[in-house]
């Protein structure tokens, strides 16, 4: 064998024996929406009804905790033509999700009337801009008695 052929063969052998440094595949947790799950895009702006089929408001926002779980669903209640309403936070557990018979879209129902939601404490979506994440305290009913 010639010196050039030996060098080429050696280079090819070395290249083939080097470990491959490919990126590890991303950790995929699911490949489709699972039963009992809902996409936030289906909730955003959706109309919310009471148990008497009366419109009580719309989903304005969805607040997630650090673990990615829904902490609150913010409803826009009491608005008329986009004016005079307020935001109210409800638990995801307070929202019943069913399939609307006339479409493939989910239907959202709460077991509260519009008046009850209007009387509820307002949620300030724009407040606390200077607060750092994770510095809020627990509601008074969840704190030990000596910290109230």
Domain boundaries 40-124, corresponding CATH code: 2.30.30.240
Q: Greater confidence, 131 or 70?
A: 70
pTM equals: 0.64
Domain boundaries, the chain: 40-124
- For every residue of the chain, DSSP letters joined together read --HHHHHHHHHHHHHHHSPP-PPPPP----SSPPTT---HHHHTT-EEE-TTS-EEEEEEEEEE-TTS-EEEEEEEES-BTTBS-EEEEE-GGGEEEEE-TTSSSEEEEESS-HHHHHHSPP--TT--TTPPTT-PPPPGGGS-GGG-
pLDDT digits 0-9 by tens, 8-49: 555 655 555 555 555 556 677 778 888 888 888 889 999 999
pLDDT digits 0-9 by tens, 91-131: 999 999 988 677 778 889 999 998 899 899 999 988 765 44
């Amino acid at each position: 064998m010639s010196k050039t052929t030996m060098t080429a063969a050696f280079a090819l052998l070395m290249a083939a024996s080097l470990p491959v440094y490919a990126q590890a595949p991303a950790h995929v947790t699911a490949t489709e929406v699972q039963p009992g799950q809902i996409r936030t895009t289906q909730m955003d702006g959706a109309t919310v009804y009471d148990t008497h089929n009366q419109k009580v408001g719309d989903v304005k926002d969805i607040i997630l905790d650090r673990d990615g779980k829904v902490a609150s669903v913010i409803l826009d209640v009491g608005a008329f033509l986009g004016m005079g309403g307020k935001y109210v936070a409800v638990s995801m557990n307070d929202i019943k999700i069913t399939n609307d018979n006339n479409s493939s879209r989910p239907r959202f129902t709460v077991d509260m009337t519009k008046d009850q939601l209007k009387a509820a404490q307002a949620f300030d979506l724009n407040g606390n801009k200077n607060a750092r994440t994770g510095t809020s305290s627990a509601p008074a009913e969840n704190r030990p008695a000596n910290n109230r």
